[in-house]
Amino acid sequence: AVYAVLDLHGSVTAVSTVSSSVLEECDVTKPPSVTSESEEEEEAEQAVDLQPHFQPQTLHFMDNHGKNILLLHGNRTATRVSSYNQGIVVLAQPLPRLFLFQVHLMM
């Protein structure tokens, strides 16, 4: 599984999750395939069925984070409260393949 890890350092004092989406297969450049189109369609349908459905409001940070982080707004905003060290936050959900999310950096 792949998790998004963000490090609040330098002039970044806070970060919030603001949106998410799943890329459509046509948005991604795929390598050439030797399988037939019907086999590719079946594989694509199976891959979609295996991926959990994420809604933007479900994206939040784990309670296990750096000691200089304060979580707000249902764990959707992480604020660095002191120092430049130990400002790590991790999204609580593993990211499925082709999943995009957007964060808002506050300085």
Domain count, the chain: 1
The tens digit of pLDDT for each residue in 52-81 reads 554 544 789 999 999 999 999 999 999 999
The tens digit of pLDDT for each residue in 4-27 reads 999 998 888 999 988 777 665 544
Strands in 99-106's sheet, in edge-to-edge order, are 69-72, 77-80, 14-22, 99-106
Please report which residue ranges of the chain form alpha helices under DSSP H.
37-50
Question: What's the pTM?
Answer: 0.65
- Tell me how crowded residue 9 is: count the other CB atoms within 10 A of its CB: 14
Write the single-letter amino acid at 3: Y
State the residue range of the domain holding 83: 5-106
